[in-house]
Amino acid sequence: MSTLKEQLRADLTTAMKARDELVRTTLRSVLTSIGNAEVAGDTARELSDDEVRAVITKETKRRAESAQAFADGGRPESADRERAEGEVLARYLPTQLDDDEVAALATAAVAEVEAETGEKPGMRQMGQVMKKANAAAEGRAEGGRVAAAVKKALAAG
């Protein structure tokens, strides 16, 4: 079993003992999503820590989108609840990179592709640059932010 999944289960037990309803329901929900991911496909399997982190990231993003929808729909109490659940899940994710760090990753990825190909990459090579930038980000930055930084770096070159 992945250590991250074990941590989630241990924290769920702690939340149950402490009667922390927010943490309890949030962790139950994410553990259910992890369980569903494990049995999806042809055969059931145990998820690695990286795969568990991907599920948590997806759940965090879903909660942020729900919070925005609730806020737009005039339901601030539901939006606050979704944001609070997102904050609980964020504890299990690596610290997110700031905009300057994402821009530096994009610039480094452009330089790396330039070194490999021998020419300055353009928008046609964005896929190559994105692959390198996303690998360097290691899940610490949302894909849209990385893509925007890569586009800006390619346009500047």
What is the pLDDT at residue 2?
Answer: 66
The backbone torsions φ and ψ at residue 15, rounded to the nearest 5 degrees and listed phi first, read -65, -35
Cα 113 to Cα 124: distance, rounded to the nearest angstrom: 12
Question: pTM for this one?
Answer: 0.72
- Please report which helix (H) or strand (E) contains residue 153, including its range: helix 143-156
- Range name among 8-17, 49-58, 148-157 with the lowest pLDDT average: 148-157
Residue 64, both tokens: 């942020």
Q: Which pairs from 135-138 meet CB under 8 Å and 24+ separation?
A: 136/105, 136/108, 136/109, 137/97, 137/102, 137/105, 138/94
Mean pLDDT value across residues 123-152: 86
What is the pLDDT at residue 1?
Answer: 56
pLDDT digits (tens, 9 = 90+) for 39-62: 988 888 888 888 898 899 899 999
Burial class (CB in 10 A: 0-12, 13-18, 19+), 28: middle
